[in-house]
Chains A and B, each alone.
Chain A
């Protein structure tokens, strides 16, 4: 039981490049989330998916798209990366009230 896994762990992009962050969970949870964490700002919700086939915007969705591929997988795409998207990205899944987080992706956009 791996919990929540994320790939890649680290990534450096140039401005304007695109990439997809992958997330998978093996706990059979319906709800999945993407957050970004910046110093002094806490975790901010980018997008979430309450169940397979549904996605909704969170607090800071601009510049991102998501896909809930199936119950296990929830990916986050940056179509045209900007330096403001330099951050640590966490994926999470939820059962009841407890969220389980992946180990994070550290993204730097130059």
Chain B
């Protein structure tokens, strides 16, 4: 089983729709969680961190469910510019001062006019 799993998609939704992705992680000792965005043929960039209490940034909402070991990303009122691959990232503490960053393979989102 992969340490971080995502549905690869593609999700193809009309502009203005609401779309949600989930990501599951296997190690319950995982400490911190993030969503990165990667545009085609570009580098990944941090979209938002994910907190236990959930957090919102404009049209984007991220949630963490530690009991079920998944994180989610909700995009409301989707725009053409939201078309990208969304990477789920988990930071796992491996020692007193060491940690391991694990990337999911990404979910591809395509917004159509």
Contact = CB atoms under 8 A, between A and B. Distances in A.
A94 B45 CA distance: 12
A45 B49 CA distance: 21
Interface string A48-87: 0010000000000000000000000000000000000000
B57 interface: no
Contacts, number: 36
Nearest to A91: B43
Given A40-B8, A40-B105, A45-B101, A101 B49 contact: no
B44 A101 contact: yes
Contact of A97 (B43, B91, B106): B91
Interface in B13-46: 32, 34, 42-46
A87 B49 CA distance: 28
Give the size range of B's interface with the partner: 10 to 19
A42 B3 CA distance: 12
A contact face: mostly helix, strand, loop, or mixed: strand
Interface string B89-113: 0010000001001011110000000
A43 B91 contact: no
A98 B46 contact: yes
B87 interface: yes
B45 A41 contact: no
Given A40-B8, A42-B106, A45-B101, A103 B43 contact: yes
Given A97-B49, A99-B46, A99-B101, 6 more contacts: A33-B101, A41-B105, A42-B87, A42-B105, A43-B87, A101-B43
Interface of A: 33, 35, 40-45, 50, 90, 97-99, 101-104
8 contacts: A41-B105, A43-B44, A44-B103, A90-B44, A97-B32, A97-B49, A99-B101, A101-B44
